[in-house]
Amino acid sequence: MRTIEKHIWHVEGGMKQGKRLDVPVHMTPFFIGRGQDCHLVVKAPGVSRKHICLELEGNTLFAKDLNSTNGTFVNHKRITGRVAIQSGDILHLGEEVLRVIRQDSSQGTRPSVADNQYESTVMMSIDDPALELVDTFVRHEEEFTAMLAAKEVAVVFQPIVSLTANEVVGYESLGRGVRADLPDSPSGLFDLAERLGKAGELSAVFRTKAVEECHLLPGTPLIFVNTHPDENLSRDLKSSIEEMRMATVPWQVVLEVHESAVTDTKMMAELKAILRDNEMYLAYDDFGAGQARWNELVEVPPDYVKFDLQLIHEIHKKSKQKQEMIRKLVDICLSQNCYPLAECVDSDEELEVCRDLGFTHGQGWLFGKGASASSFTDGTSYFSQKDG
């Protein structure tokens, strides 16, 4: 072990209350792990007793995983053996994220580090498992990218019913994860995707999977598929819309656009025209979840307006004033020749009020939970069960 007289290399991290961790690599090899004999003690989940060591040869710093249980990652990639470290590289061990910085000798001593603060063994102990760097490290990037490339996802379908005809008229496709090393919930997958800048790609993969499996549904129902606000709805989707139409004949597709993305009337008009050219329909999703887009609803009326959970949940218990407000919203949709659809209808009481308020369509656990396309059969619905 030799002492590095000038602290050229430093390990950085974030700490509580906005403070920064800044530890000089003052000797080599420099050990990082949970054990008290390490130079930098990191008490975060998933960190082994001696997890990683940093070794200096000449002017080059190397990182070496010490057979840790969960592995060491450098810039999102798991390492084996030794790898050379560049200034600014990100280290990930367990649930901890650190960055290695090389100080230019012309910059002098880093003011945040006092040389006499450190001994030759335990340099500093971190017991905060929620440290973060400014440059956010995304776990499982490699696995997520492989999942997208292989389209390794699943979809389930949830019935959409006509409240006037008392029958299933369509199904919404809902994405799910299938890999053990990634989240299975769509929210977990989209959280990863958004941090990686790949939310649009994930949304497209879910749509592709829905198109592949919709043929297993009974009859020729409408197929509702989702978009993500990150997608450019007229430019990015034009070719995929044409492909979807060719792949789904004689099924017809309804493209759902989240309320937050319905902000550009010119783009929405272009999208609606593209959909019409391909005999497809447009829906505004989660209406009422945020700022209701009344201007867009009037300027570019969709075919369906899906009212959000917060408006429908326990609607039978809401005040008469709130019910009348929702009735007026439904009436506006009807005046624009839009079908108002109540989402998340889970009880007979909610259904009764939704019908009274003028909703033409409904969706929710009352009519069926999300399931594989092959699990549905003709006549299997809430209404047929009630009639039976």
Q: Which of 20-24, 119-123, 159-163, 373-377 has the lowest mean pLDDT?
A: 119-123
Looking at residue 9, the DSSP 8-state letter turns out to be E
What predicted TM-score, i.e. pTM, was given to this entire model?
Answer: 0.70
Cβ(341)–Cβ(306) below 8 Å: yes
Are the beta carbons of 358 and 331 closer than 8 angstroms?
A: yes
DSSP label at residue 371 = B
User: What are the tens digits of pLDDT across the range 365-384?
Assistant: 999 999 999 999 865 566 66
Percent of the chain with pLDDT over 90: 52
Dihedral angle of Cα 282, 240, 364, 307, to the nearest 10 degrees: -30
Least confident of 10-24, 141-155, 169-183, 312-326: 10-24
pLDDT at 55 over 60: yes
Query: How much is the mean pLDDT over the chain?
Result: 84
What is the share, in percent, of the chain residues with pLDDT greater than 70? 82
| pLDDT value, residue 381 | 64
Secondary structure of residue 359 in the 3-state scheme: coil
| Residue 108, pLDDT score | 47
Mean pLDDT, residues 140-166: 93
If you average pLDDT over residues 14-32, what whole number do you get?
75
Residues near 341 by beta carbon (within 8 Å), at least 6 away in sequence: 160, 283, 304, 305, 306, 307, 359, 360, 361, 362, 363
Residue 365 confidence (pLDDT): 95
Length of the chain: 388
φ, ψ at 353 (rounded to 5°): -70, -40
Nearest by Cα to 159 from 340, 305, 343, 303? 343
pLDDT in tens, 192-224: 898 788 999 999 999 999 999 999 999 999 999
Better-scored residue on pLDDT, 105 or 338: 338
